[in-house]
Chains A and B, each alone.
Chain A
Amino acid sequence: MANSFDVVILGGGPAGYVAAIRAAQLGMTVAVVERDKLGGVCVNIGCIPTKALLHSAYIARLLGESKEFGVEATNIKTDYGVAMKRSRKVSDQNSKGVEFLMKKNKVTVVKGSGVLQPGKKVKVGGDVYEAKKAVLVATGSRVKGIPQIGLEINKTTVISSDEALLMEKVPASLAIVGAGAVGMEFADIFNAFGVKITLIEALPRILPLEDAEASDALAKSYRKRGIDVIAGAKVTKATVAKDKVTLDVEAGGEKKSVAVDAVLMAAGRAVNTENIGLAECGIQVTERGFIKVDKNLQTTAPGYYAIGDVAGPPMLAHKGQREGVFVAEVLAGQKPHAIKYDNVPSVTYCHPEVASIGLSEDQCKERKLDYVAGRFPFSANGRARGTGETEGFVKILRDKKYGEILGAHIVGGHASEIIHELAVARENEYTVEEVELAIHAHPTMSEAVAQAALDSLGRVVDM
């Protein structure tokens, strides 16, 4: 039967395409069903294009500050349309790259919306694709609005990241609801392109999932740049007009009216679990709407697995990719290394960047852990001084008894790159001492990690 494969994967995003490649490497025949472009949200309307735009924002800001570096740039003009088109090109290159990888690994790509059917089958239009080993559900997630307060996404004045990524021109003013990674990154981008930004977060701090010190550092940095940051804020009412939105905001006992040209909704995502035949196949979902899975990521229906955002938090591309590899190896009869969900790095690519792994200091306190916080500011780091990226710090939370790295938090230039030293350390259960013992090249931003490790041991050198 031509439509029979070992593995049929519903969704060609980071989790799905990586699972496909790993399964193919292990000798399985694989089909990926994708209704849009390969690479999913990440490649097309998420991680990748935003990184391109953030770099445009970085250049704009750098040029503004370049005079003190001896390079004077005058008459700097920004054009969001040009930046946007470049970001589209980057996305398209990446999507084509995934397409190439599918061909290279002899993975069959089926274009269309798939629906799961009992008996390990996926129906796409009039065709049915049958899986001999397993069906993988990797349908991902999408942005959601807050219709309860009148903020339903209308794609003109109330937009999501989907629209923000395709805009030709920026609005004069923009309110961003939600200061998680997405809200923070768009605030950074649009601020650099001259938009007046009001950043509204319901929880007491922006970047609510990060360490409080990271949140504070970013709030300070954003305010210095002229971004209006309102945390602990409740949007009580939204009045959406044709080319204007007025938000009634309550924060700290004060009421405030915010009038803007547009609102960007960045308050969370909803998983794509509707109309894909879950119930018909006996696949149950959790109270929060994620697909219920066991430790092997198998759903409540034998032979159906879930990976990526639909399988539960954290909803991050790299977590989904690892789940894809894991399930492919399980299907091949291997015993893959268990996924350590407490060791998934979290990164926000705003300027300065924020990266973390493990527990925050508040979580250490809640769990009544006996810990020491070691800190090192980039203002004391030679390389950071040289490049002028002195904002931020490295903070390592060390277990007092055994030196275990309970958590690590980095705010600063290239934090997204520096964090992996600590990811490797934690995965292998290195303590702060092994991190410090590894010789760090001088001068580098990474030296701050070694210095923070030393600080947690009470013997910091460079401060």
Chain B
Amino acid sequence: MATKVHMEALSPTMEEGRLVKWTKQEGDAVKTGDTLAEVETDKAVMELVARADGQLIKVLVPEGSTVPVGNVVAYIGKPGESVAEAGAVAPAAEKSARSAVSGAQEVATAPPSPSTITPTDVNRVKASPLAKRMAKDAGVDLNQVQGSGPGGRVVKRDLEGATANAPSVPALPVLRTADRAPRTSAPYEDVPLTQIRKTIAKRLAASLGPIPHFFLTTEVDMERAAEARSALEVKVSFNDIVIKAVALALTKHRACNAWFQDDHIRYWNEVHIGMAVAVEDGLITPVIRDADRKTLAQIGAEARELAERARNRRLKPEEYTGASFSVSNLGMFDIDQFTAVINPPEAGIIAVGSIVPKPVAEGDKVVVRRRLRLTMSCDHRVIDGATGAQFLKTLKQMLENPLAMLL
């Protein structure tokens, strides 16, 4: 019996893929792991590989067509076997083969299986008697409250943020986020959202779009960094220096090296820097992993290599996902200063402008110094003003005294 070849989700966000090229043709022998086709996803060109041994007996989708994830694109079977012999799967396969669009509709209109319909009594709310009273008093609809008690039951602590006169004020969370991230075996630590954090998240999100951004700008004197750069034997760019400095500053400000995850904040113990790269029809952020622990030369080499492959759309999903923080640089376009949009779930991004010689006061004299403007966009659900400012201060110090990076 023939094995179906599906359009696979080749990236975490992929919903459909464009079949760029069949690398195997009908009649070719294939082995598990062989590349069957090149598929363009929302992010890159990826390889679709065989999941069975045999012969590619039928190709259903022509090159250039776009196919929803999950649809059958080909069959692998025994030599001589036809798709009709593939038994019960054949009709469905033919339907998919007709056009990708009808396939998509089929998926969309498929009736939910009976098991997914759970009868729920709309009048029954799982909540403790105390929570019910508090909700009634505060005018809160318990159906809208996410319960944290056993079995999702709404309990007192779920309502404490909701009531104006809550009988007890939840204590301010004592977070150790400002601590320098310990290098433990765990790559990150999940800290559940406290009530105050939940409320901040809700309120700010409602007032300023899905991610409540705020921006902090600082001007950095790059004279010393420039001297250091020219003194180095290996070729490094200012962008590499910024990436390294951001990574090191994050190790000292774990509160900024974090993901907002709806009900908790993930504070990373590792530092993975996303580096925004402009590509022909958009933007992608390949990731320099453990950037805090790499040398400038390593970062430089890796950044160039990743950028090159990004432009050729040859990045693997794991190479452009999982950043804990990002850096975006428009300095090469003579942009003095700009604000970058946060790449969720990350909580911050640094926008790097161009390095410009400027007159600055040094004591009583006016001197010309090379200056750089950095603007940090912060997700206020995770990072508060002072937290972001402290991080930016460390970053500025590092760039102005490159030796500080060695400390």
Contacts and interface: CB of A to CB of B under 8 A. Distances in A.
A216 interface: no
**Of A367, A369, A429, A430, most B-chain CB atoms within 10 Å:** A429
Contacts, number: 38
Contacts of B118: none
Contact of A431 (B133, B155, B168, B186): B133
A433 interface: yes
Given A337-B150, A404-B167, A430 B129 contact: yes
Nearest to B156: A429
A433 B167 contact: no
Interface stretch (A35-43, A151-159, A172-180, A395-403): A395-403
Interface in B148-199: 150, 155-156, 165, 167-168, 184-186
A429 B137 contact: no
Interface string A431-446: 1011000000000000
A429 B150 contact: no
13 contacts: A302-B186, A337-B150, A369-B168, A399-B167, A401-B137, A402-B137, A403-B130, A403-B133, A404-B156, A428-B129, A429-B130, A431-B130, A434-B129
A402 B167 contact: yes
Interface string B108-137: 000000000000000000001111011001
A333 to B, nearest CB: 14
A428 B129 CA distance: 8
Contacts of A402: 130, 133-134, 137, 167
A367 B184 CA distance: 39
Interface residues on B, range: 10 to 19
**Of B128, B167, B185, most A-chain CB atoms within 10 Å:** B167
**Of B128, B131, B150, B156, most A-chain CB atoms within 10 Å:** B128
Contacts of A401: 137, 165, 167
Nearest to B185: A302
A132 to B, nearest CB: 14
A403 B165 CA distance: 15
Contacts of B133: 402-403, 431
A430 B130 contact: yes
Nearest to A337: B150
Given A367-B168, A402-B130, A431-B129, 18 more contacts: A302-B185, A337-B150, A369-B167, A399-B167, A401-B137, A401-B165, A401-B167, A402-B133, A402-B134, A403-B133, A404-B130, A428-B128, A428-B129, A429-B128, A429-B130, A429-B156, A430-B128, A430-B129
Would you list the 8 A-B pairs with minimal beta carbon distance, nearest first?
Answer: A429-B128, A429-B130, A402-B133, A434-B129, A404-B130, A431-B129, A430-B129, A302-B184
Nearest to B186: A302
A402 B131 CA distance: 9
**Of A302, A401, A402, A403, most B-chain CB atoms within 10 Å:** A402
A95 B134 CA distance: 47
Contacts of B130: 402-404, 429-431
A367 B186 CA distance: 39
Contacts of B137: 401-402
Contacts of A404: 130, 156, 167
B193 to A, nearest CB: 14
A369 B131 CA distance: 18
Nearest to A435: B129
Interface in A407-452: 428-431, 433-434
Contacts of B168: 367, 369
Given A302-B184, A337-B150, A429 B131 contact: yes
A86 B128 CA distance: 46
A431 B167 CA distance: 14
A403 B133 CA distance: 9
Interface string A320-350: 0000000000000000010000000000000
Nearest to A402: B133
A225 to B, nearest CB: 40
A241 B405 CA distance: 68
A399 B167 CA distance: 8
B263 to A, nearest CB: 12
B191 to A, nearest CB: 9
B232 to A, nearest CB: 38
B151 to A, nearest CB: 10
Nearest to A399: B167
Contact of A429 (B155, B167, B185, B186): B155
A429 B154 CA distance: 10
